[in-house]
Every structure is written in C-alpha cells, then in structure tokens.
Amino acid sequence: MSVKITDKVTWVGKIDWELRTFHGEEYSTHRGSSYNSYLIRDEKTVLIDTVWEPFAEEFVETLKKEIDLSEIDYIVANHGEVDHSGALPLLMKEIPDVPIYCTSNGVKILKAHYHQDWNFVEVKTGDELEIGKDNKLIFIEARMLHWPDSMFTYMTGENILFSNDAFGQHYANSKLFNDLVDQAELYQEALKYYANILTPFSPLVTSKIKEVLGFNLPVNMIATSHGVIWRDNPTQIIEKYLEWADDYQENQITIVYETMWNATRRMAEAIADGIMEKDKNVTVKLFNIGKSDKNDVITELFKSKAMLIGCSTVNKSIMSGTAAVLGMIKGIGFKKKKAAAFGSYGWSGESVPMIIEGLKEAKIEVMDEGLKLLWQPDCDALEKCKEYGRRFIDKL
Ligand code: FEO
C-alpha cells in the first residue's frame, strides 16, 4: 500500500498491526506500530528510510509498483536502527550504487549492522541536497535522539520535517494523519513513547527543539517514522515535547507494589486511603507490577510527582517484577520525583531497605526510612499504613 501525502511525497511504509512487543520484549505495543518510509518525486527521486527486515520483500514490491527502482537518485537513512534500515540489504541488491545519505555515526552503524560497503555520503547539520528547481533537503543531526546517528531531514517547498523516531508513536492506524485518529489513543501512545524511550535524553530534546526552531523553517508537516504524520497544527507535538522534557509531572502519586499473599497489597491500599484522605485533589493510581505492563507503569510514573514502591521480602531480597521496575526507573533517569518504600515480611525483612537503595541508585529523592510490617496487617497495622500515607503527603 502507498499513500500520496502531497503532490511530491508518497508514504511507502508498512503498518504492522500484529506487533505486540518492540525492542525484543522490552516495549509493549498494544496498538501495533508502523514503519514509515517516504518517496519524494521531484527532479530527483529520494527515498527516506525503509522498514523492518521482516517486511523487506513487501516493501520493495510496493516501491516497484510506485516507481522503477533505477529512478531512485538518493536514499536518506535518518537512523540506522533495524526498524528503519532493515529493508536496505534487499533494496541495495537492486540499486547497489545509489548513494545513502546519513550522518557519520549512521555510516558506522549501518556498516556494523549489514557489513556492506554501500555508497555512503556523510552529512552534518546544515548540509543541503538539491532535489529540484525550488526544493532541497536540509539535514539536521539529532544525536542521541535517540541514537548517536539520529537525524532529521527537512524538505523545503513542501515544508516537511522528516523527524524519524522523534514525535512518533507505536500506533498502527489506517488514517495516517494526526487529525483523523482518536486523539486520546494518539496522545496515550505518544506519551508512552516519550516516557519509555526519550526521557533519558530530555535535556537534548529541549536543546535540539530550540535549535530547530531557531532555523525559523516553516513546518507544514512532521512526518515521523512511527505512527501518524502531524499535519494539523503540527507544532502541537513540539510544544508537548518541550513540556514533557521539562521534568514533566501531574498531580499524581503512583503506588507500585508486588505481593505474595496480599499483605503488601493491603498495605498499598491503606497507604492510598491515607493519601486520598489527606489530599482530595491528588490522583492516586495503584499497580501490582507482577500483573501490570511495565511500560504502562513507567508511563504512569512519568506523569507522577511521587511514587511509592512496595514489595514483600522473598529469599532476603525483592520480587522479580519490583527488581525489574527499579532497574527501568534507574535507566530512564527520572528527575525531580519523590519516593518512599514499604513492604510486608515474615522474618528477615530486606525488601524495604533494598527498594530504598534501588531508588537512591536511580537518584530519586527518598522521603523517609519506609514502612515495614510483619506478616499480615491487622486493624492497627492498616491504620499505621493510612497514617504513613497521610504523612507522605505532608512531606511532599
Ligand atoms: Fe524506530 Fe530508533 O528506531
């Protein structure tokens, strides 16, 4: 399938309705995804990015229906990750001499992935490629957004920013444009994408957006490599990114717990009661991490001003889901969030100090020494939990 998006630009990507995990099993994609590739036909013909390798044959077939492959003058590889470069080996068998424009890191990454000596042309920010009488492509390096090779390509005349992963969403849909899809779904997926993939690079997001805005280029569309093309008020997602990159938080507290025989769950619920009693305005959400999607939980933590992490003690340690989410929190590098730990235990009770240690390693501000309870909580113990919740609000 291909879709004409302007007189000169055609979408030639692949919608992956089936995808349920991305980056191996690391990122859940409840709504599938798409790998957006674009064919520009001006005096020169340019292909921007390709698709993931399992769809390479279908991709090349689609391209052949659009154009004689020998008419392609240039390929632009905005990013070497396999979901965008995966069809290059098959394509390059057919057009081996066509130059591939990418950053110097892009050359290294593409060579390291495919071990081919293709006709690479290195570009850097401000380099231009003439594609017609009135139109050119301008390259903008976007290092570490989110890989060292990431790059944006701007097309003059049509005023399209091909942003690759930035501003994208893992969101399969048949409509292609932001104004034609369910806005709640769109923003849920855009936020999840930012929270899980881009948060570690937030300072770079802010500086890169300011740099691009400084070029004063008109933007009619932001053509991402996943999900929708932003054509209706395209700068809305830029504004959102600036907001999200600025240590975003809502008036929300998220309680993430893991429990063996429900004692820690009952603690979590009593703490939540105490919080809600003390602060009627704050949104409180609870997740049993053992039963929840970890990327969705990370998205909720991204939105939160504070988090409570609770876990039973098992084998002098914490349970596997809690260990995993603490690892993710550390890797993502949330800033300006406050936290506390709690948990039930039977005899040794290591979970609370271990959670606190994990939070401190993640550079999250821990508010106190946490709350430990022996075996199942009785009425007094549950009251202690509620009081702990009330005091937690006071400490924020
Ligand atoms: Fe969509 Fe970084 O690849």
Give the CATH number for residue 162: 3.60.15.10
End residue of a domain, out of 245, 275, 310: 245
User: Is 396 among the domain residues?
Assistant: no
Q: pLDDT digit string (tens) for 4-50?
A: 999 999 999 999 999 999 999 999 999 999 999 999 999 999 999 99
Positions marked active-site: 23, 79, 81, 83, 146, 165, 193, 226
**Gap from CA of 89 to ligand 1 centroid (Å):** 17
Whose Cα sits closest to atom 2 in ligand 1? 81
Q: What is the pLDDT confidence band of residue 277, given thresholds at 50, 70 and 90?
A: very high
What's the whole-number mean pLDDT along residues 167-190?
98
Q: Is the pLDDT of residue 134 over 90?
A: no
Q: Is the pLDDT of residue 200 over 90?
A: yes
Give the pLDDT confidence score for residue 352 in this predicted structure: 98
Q: What is d(CA 271, CA 308) in angstroms, rounded to the nearest whole number?
A: 9
154 and 102 together in one domain: yes
End residue of a domain, out of 245, 263, 282: 245
User: Is 73 among the domain residues?
Assistant: yes
**Gap from CA of 304 to ligand 1 centroid (Å):** 26
Q: What is d(CA 128, CA 72) in angstroms, rounded to the nearest whole number?
A: 18
End residue of a domain, out of 245, 261, 281: 245
Percent of the chain whose pLDDT exceeds 90 = 99
374 and 289 together in one domain: yes
Whose Cα sits closest to atom 3 in ligand 1? 81
Whose Cα sits closest to atom 1 in ligand 1? 165
Give the pLDDT confidence score for residue 348 in this predicted structure: 94
What's the whole-number mean pLDDT along residues 322-348?
97
Q: Which of 335, 323, 342 is nearest to 364 (CA)?
A: 335
**Gap from CA of 35 to ligand 1 centroid (Å):** 9
Helices (H), the chain: 56-66, 82-85, 88-94, 104-114, 183-193, 202-214, 235-245, 263-278, 294-303, 320-332, 351-361, 379-395
Q: What is d(CA 377, CA 388) in angstroms, rounded to the nearest whole number?
A: 14
Q: How many domains does the chain have?
A: 2
Domain residue limits at 123:
3-245
Phi-psi region of 31 (alpha: psi -120 to 50; beta: other; left: phi over 0): alpha
Q: What is the CATH number of the domain that holds 263?
A: 3.40.50.360
231 and 356 together in one domain: no
22 and 165 together in one domain: yes
183 and 69 together in one domain: yes
Go through the chain and tell me how many residues it has.
396
What's the whole-number mean pLDDT along residues 52-60?
98
| Closest ligand 1 atom to Cα of 82 | 3
278 and 361 together in one domain: yes
Q: pLDDT digit string (tens) for 147-158?
A: 999 999 999 999
263 and 238 together in one domain: no
Phi, psi of 386 (to 5 degrees): -60, -45
139 and 270 together in one domain: no
44 and 180 together in one domain: yes
| Closest ligand 1 atom to Cα of 225 | 1
Q: What is the pLDDT confidence band of residue 105, given thresholds at 50, 70 and 90?
A: very high
Which residues form ligand 1's pocket by a CB distance below 6 Å? Answer: 79, 81, 83-84, 146-147, 165, 225-226
112 and 158 together in one domain: yes
Q: At what angle do helices 320-332 and 351-361 cross, to 10 degrees?
A: 20
43 and 174 together in one domain: yes
Give the pLDDT confidence score for residue 386 in this predicted structure: 98
Q: What is d(CA 376, CA 259) in angstroms, rounded to the nearest whole number?
A: 11
What's the whole-number mean pLDDT along residues 300-315?
98
235 and 278 together in one domain: no
What's the whole-number mean pLDDT along residues 191-204?
97
**Gap from CA of 131 to ligand 1 centroid (Å):** 26
What's the whole-number mean pLDDT along residues 303-329?
98
Phi, psi of 43 (to 5 degrees): -60, -30
**Contacts within 8 Å (CB) and 24+ apart, 313-317:** 313/343, 313/344, 313/345, 313/346, 313/348, 313/349, 313/350, 313/351, 314/260, 314/351, 316/348, 316/350, 317/350, 317/351, 317/354
Q: What is d(CA 303, CA 306) in angstroms, rounded to the nearest whole number?
A: 9
Give the pLDDT confidence score for residue 20 in this predicted structure: 98
Q: Is the pLDDT of residue 395 over 90?
A: yes
